[in-house]
Structure 1
Amino acid sequence: RVVFMGNSITEGWKIMDSTFFTGRPYIDRGISGQTSPQMLIRFRPDVIALKPAAVVILAGINDIAENNGPISLEAVFGNIVSMVQLAKANKIKVVMCSVLPANRFPWRPNILPAEKVVALNKMLATYAAENKIIYVDYYSVMVDDKKGLPKKYAEDGIHPTLEGYKVMEELVEAGIKKALKKK
């Protein structure tokens, strides 16, 4: 089985496209609003305890939105790396995902996230390449000319529509297949 670890984008997936999780060995462990420290705290019960073959990690957007107050990108990156290391130590294959494009937060209009999303994704992609971890790049496939998500992919600019999830599904399934083939 494969655990999807994340925030509202992960939690909303099974609601927006219930067919994606039906008939597949996928477990949705997304909790709305969560930041990377909160995900790290629950990584043991929500991922390791389930003994999956692989974990899909999608984290960082709520940190950039400062849902729990200001946090440096280095700290966010460190929390994601800690989840990767916990998974690897428990022989769980890792699929690391880019943060989705975002150029605004409906709930935090004073924060301009576009450049921070780009910077965090660069850190994640570099780490994945250096450590031979499967990296799923949602960002470059979904981004518009304003460094955000087009309306067809996310009505509110953050949470994917069915069409947005369909794009993500194709990419993540390819990543999962690659991860499960790795020795």
Structure 2
Amino acid sequence: MTRRMLLGCVLMVGVGSAFGQTAPTAAPAPVAAPKPNPDWAQLGRYKDANATLPAHEAGRVVFYGDSITDAWAKDPAVFFPGKPFVGRGISGQTTPQMLVRFRQDVIDLHPEAVVILAGTNDVAGNTGPMTVEQTEENFMSMAELAKVNHIKVVLCSIMPVLDYPWRRGMEPSPKIQAINTWMKAYAKKSGFTYVDYYSAMDDGTGAAKAGLTKDGVHPTAEGYTLMEPLALAGIAAK
């Protein structure tokens, strides 16, 4: 390269820099979109178990909920021995997920009654932030679906929780109490049964009494022993 050609290159670089032109940079690597959950409501969890049940059974009651119901039904020693009761709880679930699977896991089992215990995971935000009103609307939808299918509705209060061990600092007590107050009034207005676990378990501070839960949320055997007669009374109520 001659001196004249080299000088021209230097001048071109200088002019480009003066006008804010820079050398092109490599485009950032594309960010992969999150993979959608193919079974968000976990419809597959009880699909096979549902298929093995007889179409109809006298006295069948479906206990429907989240981890509290899930753990209860997994322990035959404490889950109503000798009763034709069916547990359809799924750990971690919120009311929108439960609403999606309500037909498959409740209506299609043709129970005489459904005992619904849910909402604490809504307050914890397990599937994202939810308002009290959204939780209440999901309860209404499940109750109305049961009613139109001639299934007795038993709505259970959310149990007292002062803090969630998997999501600290949510201060859930005011929301829990608000939902429970609404639920009791809604059940009375609609002709449904309300089971008040909260009052039986509350230590006066918004937390469960000592010995009734393992972690402030999930019942011990002692906690389920306290809940059992309340649930049975709700099922028997006219």
TM-score range, shorter chain: over 0.9
Alpha carbons 1:16, 1:161 under 8 Å: kept? no
Could you tell me which of 57, 68, 71 is aligned with 1:12? 71
Larger Cα Rg: Structure 1 or Structure 2? 2
Matching residue of 1:155: 214
The match for 1:145 is 204
1:97-147 per-position Cα deviation (integer Å, ceiling 9, x unaligned) = 000011100000021101111000001001011112110000011101221
Secondary structure of the equivalent of 1:20? coil
The CA distance in 2 between the partners of 1:17 and 1:68, in whole Å, is: 30
Match of 1:109 in 2: 168
Question: What does residue range 58-137 of structure 1 map to in structure 2 within 5 Å?
Answer: 58-137=117-196
- 1:132 and 1:15 mapped to 2: Cα distance? 31
Superposition TM-score, scaled by structure 2 size: 0.73
Secondary structure at 1:18 match in 2: coil
Find the residue that maps to 2:142 and give its secondary structure: helix
User: Residues of 1 paired with 2:209 and 2:62: CA distance?
Assistant: 28
Gaps of 5+ in 1: none
State percent identity of aligned pairs. 51
Question: How many angstroms does 1:17 deviate by?
Answer: 5.5
Separation (CA, whole Å) in 2 of partners of 1:167 and 1:131: 27
Classify 1:16/1:25 alpha carbon distance in 2 versus 1 (closer, same or farther; 3 Å).
closer
The Cα RMSD (Å) is 1.1
Matched residue pairs, number? 179
Spell out, residue by residue over 1:12-65, the C-alpha distance to the aligned partner (whole angstroms, 9 max, x if none). Answer: 112355342431010000000000000000000000000000000111000000
Q: TM-score, normalised by structure 1?
A: 0.95
Q: Which runs of 5+ in 2 are unaligned?
A: 1-59
* More moved, 129-138 vs 44-53: 129-138
- Alpha-carbon contact 2:78-2:225 (below 8 Å) kept: no
